[in-house]
C-alpha cells in the first residue's frame, strides 16, 4: 500500500476525537449475530453443573436445557453447538454410543427442534466423547484408522440430520470425510443440511478444559497429532480447506482461534468462503480467569472477537457468546 498524506494536513487523531466519530468510521464490529454458543449436555435430572476448569460454563441435563436456550433466544444468538458429557460406562473402543438414537445429542436435538425451532443447531461429528480411549476415530492395529472411522462418522451425521441438526460439523480431521458425508446426506434427502468442516484443526494445547468438560481428558491415550494439524504449518491449512470445499463444505472452521488469525486471513483471501473461528476452551479459561481476578476488563473479550472479524471470520464459536451478547445488549 502506498502511504498517502502527511502531517500536518493529515492528522489521524481527528478521526478519534469523539465516540461518535469513532463509531462512524469503524471498519469492523461484533454483534450477537456473529456468535455461536457451545452447550454441554449431560445425563440426569434437574442438573446445572459448573465446569471447574471453565468458570461460568455449565453442563445441563436435558430437562434444564431450556434455561440456557431461553437466554440464547433472548440475546438473539443464531446458533448453538452441542457437546455431550458421556458417562464412562457408555464408552467403548468404537464409540458405539455415537450411533444410539437416544444418546444425549439426539435427545437434545429433538427437544430443541420442538421447543426452540428458530435456533440453529450445530453438532460435532467425531467419536471422542464416546470412545474409551478418547480419540476421534477407531483404532485398528494401534492406528487411528481413517476409512473405518469415516464409515461410522457417516452414520453419526445421518442420525443427527434425522433428528433435525441444521449444521453437521465434522471435527475429527479424517481425510475425505466431508465428501463421504455430503454424499450420504444427499442420498438420504438431507440436501438442505449444511456442512461446517473443522477443516483446519490444530493439535493444540488449548483444548484441555474442553476435554475435561466432555470427560475425555483423563482417558485420552497419547495425543492427536496423527490427525490434527501441526501448528508449525499454515500452507497445509490451505490444502485442507481446498479439499474440503471440493468435497462440499459450506463453511470452514479454524480452530483454535487467537493463535491462528493469520490462517483465517489467508483462507479468506484465497477462497472467499465463510470462515468461522473457534475460540476454544483454553482461550476462554485464560481470559475468563484474568477477568475474574480483575487483571483485565470484560471489554477484552470484545477485543478478541473483533480481532477474529478483522482477520476475516464471519462468526465466532465462543463460550463467551451468552455473556457477551448480554453485555452488548
Ligand atoms: C473433539 C473436539 C474438541 C473440541 C471440539 N471438538 C477437542 C479435541 O479435539 O480434543 C475442542 C473445543 C475446545 O477446546 O473448546 N472432536
pLDDT of residue 3: 82
Residue 268 has which C-alpha cell? Answer: 479468506
Catalytic residue among 255, 268, 288, 309: 255
Q: How many CB atoms lie within 10 A of CB 178?
A: 27
- Distance in Å, CA 151 to ligand 1 centroid: 21
- Distance in Å, CA 2 to ligand 1 centroid: 42
CB neighbour list of residue 257: distance below 8 Å, 6 or more residues apart = 264, 277, 278, 279, 280, 283, 304, 308, 316, 318
Catalytic residue among 64, 107, 201, 268: 201
Cβ contact 199:253 at 8 Å: yes
- Distance in Å, CA 207 to ligand 1 centroid: 6
Pocket test of ligand 1: the residue of 153, 280, 317, 319 to mutate, having most ligand atoms within 8 Å of its CB, is 280
From first to last of the 329 residues of the chain, give the pLDDT tens digit: 888 899 999 999 999 999 999 999 999 999 999 999 999 999 999 999 999 999 999 999 999 999 999 999 999 999 999 999 999 999 999 999 999 999 999 999 999 999 999 999 999 999 999 999 999 999 999 999 999 999 999 999 999 999 999 999 999 999 999 999 999 999 999 999 999 999 999 999 999 999 989 888 889 989 999 999 999 999 999 999 999 999 999 999 999 999 999 999 999 999 999 999 999 999 999 999 999 999 999 999 999 999 999 999 999 999 999 999 999 98
pLDDT of residue 329: 87
pLDDT digits (tens, 9 = 90+) for 167-189: 999 999 999 999 999 999 999 99
Q: Which atom of ligand 1 is nearest to the CA of 284?
A: 15
pLDDT of residue 216: 85
- Distance in Å, CA 19 to ligand 1 centroid: 39
pLDDT of residue 217: 83
Separation between Cα atoms, residue 327 and residue 42, nearest integer Å:
27
255 in catalytic set: yes
Number of H helices, E strands in the chain: 11, 12
Characterize the bridge pairing of strands 139-140 and 143-144. antiparallel
Amino acid at each position: 500500500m502506498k502511504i498517502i498524506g502527511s502531517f500536518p494536513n493529515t492528522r489521524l487523531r481527528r478521526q478519534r476525537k469523539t465516540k461518535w466519530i469513532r463509531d462512524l468510521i469503524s471498519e469492523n464490529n461484533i454483534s450477537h449475530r456473529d456468535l455461536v454458543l457451545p452447550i454441554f449436555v449431560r445425563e440426569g435430572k434437574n442438573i446445572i453443573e459448573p465446569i471447574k476448569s471453565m468458570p461460568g460454563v455449565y453442563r445441563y441435563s436435558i430437562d434444564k436445557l431450556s434455561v440456557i436456550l431461553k437466554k440464547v433466544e433472548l440475546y438473539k444468538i443464531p446458533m448453538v453447538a452441542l457437546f455431550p458429557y458421556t458417562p464412562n460406562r457408555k464408552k467403548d473402543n468404537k464409540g458405539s454410543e455415537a450411533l444410539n438414537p437416544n444418546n444425549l445429542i439426539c435427545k437434545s436435538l429433538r427437544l430443541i427442534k420442538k421447543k426452540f425451532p428458530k435456533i440453529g443447531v450445530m453438532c460435532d461429528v467425531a467419536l471422542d466423547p464416546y470412545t474409551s480411549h478418547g480419540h476421534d476415530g477407531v483404532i485398528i492395529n494401534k492406528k487411528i484408522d481413517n476409512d473405518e472411522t469415516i464409515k461410522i462418522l457417516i452414520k453419526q451425521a445421518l442420525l443427527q440430520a434425522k433428528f433435525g441438526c441444521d449444521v453437521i460439523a465434522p471435527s475429527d480431521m479424517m481425510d475425505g470425510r466431508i465428501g463421504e458425508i455430503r454424499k450420504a446426506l444427499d442420498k438420504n434427502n438431507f440436501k438442505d443440511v449444511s456442512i461446517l468442516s473443522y477443516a483446519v484443526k490444530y493439535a493444540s494445547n488449548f483444548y484441555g478444559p474442553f476435554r475435561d468438560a466432555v470427560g475425555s481428558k483423563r482417558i485420552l491415550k497419547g495425543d492427536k497429532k496423527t490427525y490434527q494439524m501441526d501448528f508449525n504449518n499454515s500452507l497445509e491449512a490451505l490444502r485442507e480447506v481446498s479439499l474440503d470445499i471440493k468435497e462440499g463444505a459450506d463453511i470452514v472452521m479454524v480452530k483454535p482461534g487467537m493463535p491462528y488469525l493469520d490462517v483465517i486471513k489467508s483462507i479468506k483471501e484465497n477462497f472467499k468462503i465463510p470462515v468461522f473461528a473457534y475460540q476454544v476452551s483454553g482461550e476462554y479459561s485464560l481470559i475468563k480467569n484474568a477477568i475474574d481476578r480483575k487483571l483485565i476488563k470484560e471489554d477484552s473479550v470484545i477485543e478478541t472477537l473483533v480481532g477474529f472479524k478483522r482477520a476475516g471470520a464471519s462468526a465466532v464459536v465462543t463460550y463467551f457468546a451468552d455473556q457477551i451478547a448480554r453485555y452488548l445488549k
